């Protein structure tokens, strides 16, 4: 019997790094040119966030777009593709569906994603996460020596979709919808752990910004509560 302590994190995975990124390649090739539509939707989110016009209608539109993206990733990626190499993918798909429903209820129906005045740090971090999800993620694949066909695109891949969502949540200012945080943050941590186990050099790219988003959201909420209390 082999000693259990001789096993490393990589031995616990059911797939290799090559298999994982080949999955993205097959996924992208199957659904091309849907990536263009996904990026257009991402650009629409960015425009709505930057414009800060439309009030609740803008927030509801952002929530609806994000909900569609989370639903697509749940079915198109997790259920149709990732499930072939990861037994937990069905649970991931379910979590993404739950997140989509929460976005529809809290964002599209109740208007909790309306862009509101936030701290300068929250604004910069929120916009930074959205821009990273839209622009940096597709470029990471060739920069790390992988094929363009293995690129992870917002609205189709889970990591950039989760990060962009956290960016939008940061821009909700001092009244973030806390129920929308757990699933994106949990996914970012799971994804980071998976990449770390695969010894991928970009393993920290997703979990660290996700944790930063939580810290900034909590800090912004505390500052908002303190300012309201002081003004009484």
- Residue 179 lies inside a defined structural domain of this protein: yes
The tally of domains found in the chain comes to: 1
- Residue 3 lies inside a defined structural domain of this protein: no
- Residue 88 lies inside a defined structural domain of this protein: yes
pLDDT per residue as tens digits for the range 167-214: 999 987 656 789 999 999 999 999 999 999 998 999 999 999 999 999
- Residue 129 lies inside a defined structural domain of this protein: yes
Q: What percentage of the chain has pLDDT greater than the value 90?
A: 68
Tally of CA atoms within 13 A in the half-sphere of 167 that contains its CB: 27
pLDDT per residue as tens digits for the range 75-106: 999 999 999 999 999 999 999 999 999 999 99
117 or 90, which is more confident? 90
- Residue 124 lies inside a defined structural domain of this protein: yes
Rounded distance between C-alpha atoms, residue 172 and residue 174, angstroms: 7
- Residue 47 lies inside a defined structural domain of this protein: yes
Rounded distance between C-alpha atoms, residue 193 and residue 92, angstroms: 15
Closest of 228, 186, 230 to residue 211, by C-alpha = 186
Residue 17 CA, distance from chain mean position: 21
- Residue 177 lies inside a defined structural domain of this protein: yes
- Residue 8 lies inside a defined structural domain of this protein: no
Q: Spell out the alpha helix ranges (H) of 171-206.
A: 182-197
The residue segments making up the domain with residue 169 are 14-231
């Amino acid at each position: 019997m082999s000693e259990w302590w001789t096993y490393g994190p990589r031995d616990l995975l059911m797939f290799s790094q090559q298999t994982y990124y080949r999955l993205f390649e097959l996924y992208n090739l199957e659904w091309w040119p849907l990536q263009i539509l996904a990026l257009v939707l991402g650009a629409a989110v960015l425009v709505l966030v930057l414009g800060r016009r439309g009030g609740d209608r803008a927030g509801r539109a952002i929530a609806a777009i994000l909900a569609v993206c989370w639903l697509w990733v749940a079915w198109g990626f997790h259920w149709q593709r990732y499930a072939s190499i990861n037994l937990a993918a069905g649970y991931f798909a379910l979590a993404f569906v739950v997140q989509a429903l929460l976005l529809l209820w809290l964002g599209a129906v109740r208007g909790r994603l309306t862009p509101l005045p936030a701290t300068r740090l929250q604004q910069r971090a929120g916009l930074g996460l959205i821009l990273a999800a839209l622009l940096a993620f597709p470029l990471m694949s060739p920069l790390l020596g992988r094929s363009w066909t293995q690129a992870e695109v917002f609205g189709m891949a889970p990591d950039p979709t989760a990060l962009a969502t956290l960016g939008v949540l940061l821009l909700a200012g001092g009244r973030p919808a806390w129920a929308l945080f757990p699933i994106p943050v949990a996914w970012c941590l799971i994804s980071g752990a998976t990449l770390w186990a695969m010894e991928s050099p970009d393993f920290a790219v997703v979990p660290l910004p996700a944790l930063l988003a939580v810290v900034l959201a909590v800090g912004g909420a505390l500052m908002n509560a303190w300012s309201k209390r002081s003004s009484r």
